[in-house]
Amino acid sequence: MKRQRVSLALVLLATLGGLIIVAPVLALLSRVPWSHLLSELSSSDSLNALRVSLFSSVLATVFAVVLGVPLAWLLARGPASITKYIRPLVTLPLVLPPTVAGLALLVLFGRNGVLGSWIYQETGWAMPFTFVAVVVAGVFVGLPFLVLVVESGFAQLPPEIEEAAETDGANPNQLFMQVAVPQVRGSIVTGAILAWARALGEFGATLTFAGSMPGITRTLPMQVYVALESNLANAYALSVVLVVISVTVLYVMRSHLMSVFKNV
Amino acid sequence: MNKKIAVIIALVLAATVGWQIHQKQNRDAVNNGISTDVNTTGEINVFAASSLTGTFTQLGKEFEASHPGVKVNFTFGSSSTLAQQIKAGAPARIFASASGKQMNEINDRITSPQNFVTNHVVLAVHSPDGLAGILKNQSVASILNQPQGVWIQCAHEAPCGTAADKALAAEGVTTKPKSLEPDVKSVVMKLLAKEADSGVIYQTDVVANAGNLVGLEFADQGAATTTYSIGVLDNKDALAGELLNFLMSRHAMDVYSKAGFGVPAQ
């Protein structure tokens, strides 16, 4: 007989750990007004929030990929003496409280901001309270996920292929676009999905930086927060949408996620 | 190894259970009024609307100073959230809500609430040099209808937003707010960051930021006003009753008045 590898104590701890994650979400599902879920979700406030959230998070993901993959490449191939100082900075949004993140964005891009005041003087346009601000907040919080995952993808590439391409006369852009990037497609997809999920759930930074106007800047998480004051059924219904999206993404991505975490 | 883990689990569980029992004994002692000693000393939890943070914190310290052995713990938050928590059994002994609506939601728990102060929304604008003469003569509408201006208010669902909607209805405003913020704090924050030119906030918020903001009164003052309500959860709770009396005292009214609240005439 095989030697028993888990003890009762470990099973107990593991069960508690699992329950702390799953039980609150299950409890939430128990309150969802299933019978009139569709009518709750088809109210104009809900649809507006859904639209703002989907469009802004997808756009934020596109920008995160366009800016983040080159950043990941430089971090993976740049001189370690520099990258070791830059890498922690890239992950800053992961640990920054969202409200602080929003405040930082406001201080940079706001009408009175370091950069924003100049934009406002030149063009009369201010970023806060616009859809652009929602996207920028999404890029800010989502980018670290993409960079971390893609960098770990680049780091695992065997150097021989790049060396061979260089010997064959590939220039830096070709090396990046035609040799390196195609090999880390999986990592890019995983990173993009994580960044997207993070941007979709963002609340504090968006509220502080972009405000909360239905149809323009009010995202799903914000609509849930506002509905808590007045319409709990609506809050539960919208929460279930966020839960379903998140669970779907996590299950679809589970094999990719596993391989990423194994290599971190 | 296994033994160590088991010991740790046992300790954590024991600590948790022990703490709960300790809390319950405290509560029971208070609820049953076992001795007058327990009844008028110890910790007392007060749940109150966020807008009372400054005044209640000050009054709480004064009460503690004149009542050795008493510790007043405040939980400040949105009145509707606090009402939900009390409904779910949160150990509050006094509740002060920003309007009667939330108090009514728990009328099975607080049987005799009373009105105590009023607050009203104003249109707050920046004041680099105090209430400038120009602003004094301008109406709310003339400020809000400036095409380049950015103004914000609370969401319709939040109490400060409901008050703003009512007050704005009579003003003939043709522009729209740039944002419907979930609570008054985030309106104030954006005003102070100068990302908005004006915003509908409470008079008490204007007083708290007197160096930066001035408030323009709405024409319909009645619609702009909300009346606060306060009550104890247990009418036999002597310490809570004493604290409530202090929070309703003439001295307390002066404190509220200085902070911008409306208080009943003497």
Q: What is the per-residue DSSP string for B165-201?
A: HHHHHTTT--S--SEEESSHHHHHHHHHTTSSSEEEE
Of all residues in chain A, the one with the smallest CA distance to B151 is A129
Above 90 in pLDDT, residue A133? yes
CA distances to A74, A83, A128, A192, B232 from A135, in Å: 24, 27, 11, 14, 47
* 8 Å CB contact of A12 and B194: no
Element (DSSP H or E) covering residue B124 = strand B114-126
Q: Span B234-248, mean pLDDT?
A: 94
pLDDT at B219: 87
CA distances to A81, A89, A90 from A85, in Å: 7, 7, 9
Quick check: B31 pLDDT over 60?
no
Of the partner residues A207, A211, A226, the one whose CB lies closest to the CB of residue B178: A211
Q: Which of B5, B80, B155 sits opposite A212 (nearest CB)?
A: B155
Whether B192 contacts chain A with CB within 8 A:
no
Q: Does the beta-carbon distance from B150 to A129 stay under 8 Å?
A: yes
Model pLDDT, residue B146: 84
Per the domain annotation, does A72 fall within a domain?
A: yes
The alpha carbon of A228 is separated from its chain's Cα centroid by a whole number of angstroms, namely 24
**In the predicted model, what is the mean pLDDT of chain B?**
84
Which of B5, B190, B193 has its CB closest to that of A10?
B5
Question: Considering chain A, what percentage of its residues have pLDDT values greater than 90?
Answer: 70
Question: Is A30 contained in some domain?
Answer: no
Domain layout of chain B by residue ranges? 2-117+228-258, 119-225
A2 belongs to a structural domain: no
Q: If you write DSSP's letter for every residue of A17-37 in order, what string do you get?
A: HHHHHHHHHHHHHHTS-GGGH
Tell me the per-residue pLDDT of A62-93, one tens digit each, with 9 for 90 and over.
999 999 999 999 999 999 999 999 999 999 99
Residue with tokens 């799903």: A220
| Chosen CATH of B2-117+228-258 out of 3.40.50.2000, 3.40.190.10, 3.40.50.10420, 3.30.300.30 | 3.40.190.10
The verdict on pTM exceeding 0.90 is no
Q: Let me know if residue A31 belongs to a domain.
A: no
Q: Which residue in B150, B157, B190 is closest to A229 by CB distance?
A: B157
Question: Does any domain span residue A190?
Answer: yes
Interchain CB contact of B16 with A (< 8 Å): no
Q: pLDDT-based confidence at B183, cuts 50/70/90?
A: confident
- The DSSP symbol for B217 reads P
pLDDT at B132: 56
Question: A103-117, B56-70, B129-143 — which is least confidently predicted?
Answer: B129-143
Determine the average pLDDT of the residues in A237-253.
86
Nearest to B2 among A7, A213, A217 (CB): A7
ipTM above 0.85, yes or no: no
B177 touches chain A (CB under 8 A): yes
What angle (nearest 5°) sits at the alpha carbon of residue A175, between those of residues A170 and A179? 115
Cβ distance of B193 and A110 shorter than 8 Å = yes
**What pLDDT is stored for residue A250 in this prediction?**
79
Burial string for B189-203 (b: 16+ CB within 10 Å, else e) reads: bbbebebbbbbbbbb
How far A254 CA lies from chain B's nearest CA (Å)? Answer: 30
Q: Look up the domain containing A165 and give its range.
A: 50-217
Burial A51-77 (b: 16+ CB within 10 A, else e): ebbeebbebbbebbbeebbebbbbbbb
Binary contact (B155, A227; C-beta < 8 A):
no
Inter-chain contact A228–B81, Cβ cutoff 8 Å? yes
Determine the pLDDT at residue A246.
84
Least CB–CB distance from B2: residue in A9, A126, A222: A9
User: How many domains does chain A contain in total?
Assistant: 1
CATH class of the structural domain B119-225: alpha beta
Please say whether the beta carbons of B195 and B185 come within 8 A: no
**Residues of chain A neighbouring B190 (CB-CB closer than 8 A):** 128, 211
B126 in reach of chain A (CB within 8 A): no
pLDDT, one tens digit per residue, over A192-207 is: 999 999 999 999 999 9
What gap in Å lies between CA A194 and CA A90, rounded to an integer? 15
CATH number of the CATH domain containing A108? 1.10.3720.10
Q: What is the mean pLDDT of residues A169-188?
A: 91
Tell me the per-residue pLDDT of B32-70, one tens digit each, with 9 for 90 and over.
444 344 457 789 999 999 899 999 999 999 999 999 999
Rounded to the nearest integer, the mean pLDDT of chain A is 91
Task: Specify the residue for token string 């001295």.
Answer: B251
Least confident piece of the model among A159-163, A227-231, A260-264, B141-145? A260-264
Distance from CA of B13 to the nearest CA of A (A): 12
- What pLDDT sits at residue A86? 93
Does the distance separating the beta carbons of A112 and B157 come in below 8 Å? Answer: no
Domain-embedded: residue A75 = yes
Q: How many CB pairs lie under 8 A apart between chains A and B?
A: 73
Binning pLDDT at 50, 70 and 90, where does residue A261 land?
A: low
Q: What is the pLDDT of residues B97-111, one digit of tens each?
A: 988 888 988 888 888
Q: How far apart are CA A73 and CA A147, in angstroms?
A: 9
Average pLDDT value for residue range B29-34: 47
Q: Domain for residue A6, yes or no?
A: no
| A32-43 average pLDDT score | 89
Contact B157 A231 (CB under 8 A): yes
Does B29 or B93 have the greater pLDDT score? B93
Decide if A198 touches B, using CB distance below 8 A. Answer: no
